[in-house]
Structure 1
Amino acid sequence: MGGESRVSDEVLGTVVPIGVYWLYSGVYCLLHRLDRFRMHSRKEEAAKNSISKATVVRGVLLQQSIQATVSLALFAFAGNKTEDQPVSEGFILAYAVQFLVAMLVMDTWQYFMHRYMHHNQFLYRHIHSQHHRLVVPYSFGALYNHPIEGLLLDTVGGALSFLVSGMSAKVSIFFFSFATIKTVDDHCGIWLPGNPLHLLFKNNTAYHDIHHQLYGSKYNFSQPFFVMWDKILGTYMPYTIERRMDGGLEARPRKVE
C-alpha cells in the first residue's frame, strides 16, 4: 500500500490562501490592542461601522466557499501545468514575470470594476455599499462583500490573473497567498512602523483607508498592489500620516502638487 499520498497543488492553491487569510487577520486582531498604531479609535469604529463582526465573518466564509468552488473548477479547466523542474535562474525569472503580469492584470480588472461599482448608483446601492458598511476597516473584513461583488471583482479578477499570466497551480499557491496578505493588510486599520508592505507599495493601509472615508469614496480605487490607474485617470488622493489628538494615527488627505 506503499504509495506516498500527496495533496495536489490544485487543492493547496485553493485552501492555502483561505488559511492565510484567517491566520494573518488573527495577527492583526491581536495588534489592534496597540491603540497607538490604530488609524481609528475603538469609539469611532463602534460608532461608524453598521454591521456586526459576526455578520462579517459569515459573509467572508460565504465568499470563500464560492471562491473555493470556482478555483477548483478553474484548475480543472486549465489542466495541471505543474512540472517538476530543477530550480534555476531562468525559472525564477519566469516565475517573477508571471507574478508581475498577474499583479497588473488583477489591478487593472479591480480598478475598473471597483470604480464602476461606485459610479453606477444601482450597483453601489445594492451591491458595493455592503463592503462600505465598514467605514473603519479591519483585517478580517477585507473580503466582506456582497456575493455578486465577490464573484465579479475578486474571483473573476483572480481567474483572469491566473489564466493570462500562464502560471501553474503550484505558482498560484504563492501568488494568491501573497495577494491575500496584501488585501488583509490594506484593510487592517493598523499603521506599523517598518511594515515592509507599506515601504514597498504606495497602495497600502492608509491609501485604502482614505477610500473608505466619505471624502475619499471617489478616489483611490486601485487595489491591491499599485496606484498607477488612479494616477493615470485622475482619481489619486495622496495622504499624510499624522497623530490624532486622542492618540493613535490618522491618514489625512493632502492636495496633489
Structure 2
Amino acid sequence: MVFWEGYVSDEAMGTFAPIVVYWLYAGFYQLLPPLDKYRLHTRKEEEEKNFVTLASVVKGVLLQQLVQATVAQLLFLLTSTADASGTTIQPSIPVQILQIIVAMIVMDTWQYFVHRCMHHNKFLYRHVHSQHHRLVVPYAIGALYNHPLEGLLLDTFGGAISFLISGMTARTAVIFFCFAVVKTVDDHCGLWLPGNLFHICFQNNSAYHDIHHQIQGMKYNYSQPFFPIWDMLLGTHMPYVLLKRPEGGFEARIKKD
C-alpha cells in the first residue's frame, strides 16, 4: 500500500512525481539564504562565469522534462503488467531493492559512456554538450539544463534502459526516479552543507562534480549520478581536496601528486 493508491496510478506517479520532486528540491536550494560559508564558488563567480540566464535554464529544463514525461508514458504503456482490474503484482521488498541497485549500475554505466563520448567527440561537445557547461558554476535548478538531444540520449534513454533492464514495476520506478532526481540536483547544488547524507554516503557528490565543471577537470569525473566506479576503472577519476577559502566557503581543488 502506498499513499497514492486509489487516487493516482503508479504509471502517472512514475511519470510526474520525478518532475515535481525536481522543482521542490531544486526550489528548496534556490530559496535558501546565500550561505556563503558553504558555497563551492562565490556569488560573484556564479554571476561572472555562467553564460546563461536563469530564465533560459528554467525553459531548458522544462523542455527536457516534457520529453521525459512523453517517453515515460509510452514506456509504461508498453510494459504494463496490470491485470483487468488495473492491479500489478509487486515483488517483495528485497527484490525491489535489488532492482533499484541494478538500475543504479545500469544508469551509471550508460551515462558515463555517453557523457564521456560527448566530451571526446568535438562535434558533439561543440553543438550539444557545451550547453550544459555554460553553467561553469553549477546550481541546483540547472541540474537538467542540457541540449534537447543530450537530455534525450543521456537522461531519458538512460532512465528507460535502467527501467527495462532492472525489470522494476512502475511503482518501484517512482522510488528510483525520484531518488535519482534528488541525487542529480544535489550534485549540482554548488554547496557543501554539513550533515548532507549525499556527501557522507557517496563519493560522487557536489564537490566531485564541481571538478568536472572546472576547465582543468572537464575530461575527468564523468561518472554520474551515483558511483565513481567507471572513472576509477578507466583512469578518468580526478581526486580533489576541499579547502576553506579565507573569505568564506569552500573550494574543490584538483589534488596534485
TM interval, short-chain normalised: over 0.9
Answer whether contact 1:185 1:204 (CA < 8 A) is retained: yes
Give the Cα–Cα distance (whole angstroms) in 2 for the partners of residues 83 and 69 of structure 1.
Answer: 22
Moved more, 136-145 or 242-251: 242-251
Moved more, 151-160 or 71-80: 71-80
Counterpart amino acid of residue 88 in structure 2: E
Answer whether contact 1:80 1:169 (CA < 8 A) is retained: no
Answer whether contact 1:32 1:190 (CA < 8 A) is retained: no
Counterpart residue number, 1:186 = 187
Q: What TM-score do the two structures reach when normalised by structure 2? A: 0.94
Answer whether contact 1:32 1:38 (CA < 8 A) is retained: no
Note if 1:83 corresponds to 2:88: yes
| Structure 1 outlier segments of 4+, above 2 Å | 80-85
Give the Cα–Cα distance (whole angstroms) in 2 for the partners of residues 160 and 216 of structure 1.
Answer: 28
Note if 1:112 corresponds to 2:113: yes
- Tell me the alpha carbon deviations over residues 165-198 of structure 1, each in whole angstroms, 9 at most, x when there is no partner: 0000000000000000000000000100110011
User: 3-state SS of the aligned residue for 2:248?
Assistant: coil
Counterpart residue number, 2:178 = 177
User: 3-state SS of the aligned residue for 2:242?
Assistant: strand
Counterpart residue number, 2:14 = 13
Counterpart residue number, 1:69 = 70
Give the Cα–Cα distance (whole angstroms) in 2 for the partners of residues 252 and 219 of structure 1.
Answer: 13
Note if 1:143 corresponds to 2:148: no
Distance apart, 1:32 and its partner CA: 5.2
User: 3-state SS of the aligned residue for 1:247?
Assistant: coil
Give the Cα–Cα distance (whole angstroms) in 1 for the partners of residues 108 and 49 of structure 2.
Answer: 28
Counterpart amino acid of residue 83 in structure 1: T
Counterpart amino acid of residue 194 in structure 2: P
Give the Cα–Cα distance (whole angstroms) in 1 for the partners of residues 225 and 137 of structure 2.
Answer: 18
Distance apart, 1:67 and its partner CA: 0.3
Counterpart residue number, 1:159 = 160
Counterpart residue number, 2:221 = 220
User: 3-state SS of the aligned residue for 2:237?
Assistant: coil
Distance apart, 1:42 and its partner CA: 0.7
Counterpart residue number, 2:28 = 27
Question: How many residues end up aligned between the 2 structures?
Answer: 249
User: 3-state SS of the aligned residue for 1:241?
Assistant: strand
Percent identity reads: 63
User: 3-state SS of the aligned residue for 1:142?
Assistant: helix
Distance apart, 1:79 and its partner CA: 1.3
Answer whether contact 1:139 1:188 (CA < 8 A) is retained: yes
Counterpart amino acid of residue 249 in structure 1: F
User: 3-state SS of the aligned residue for 1:225?
Assistant: coil
Give the Cα–Cα distance (whole angstroms) in 1 for the partners of residues 33 and 169 of structure 2.
Answer: 36
Counterpart residue number, 1:196 = 197
Distance apart, 1:122 and its partner CA: 0.1
- Tell me the alpha carbon deviations over residues 62-110 of structure 1, each in whole angstroms, 9 at most, x when there is no partner: 000000000000001111366355xxxx811101100100000000000
Counterpart residue number, 1:43 = 44
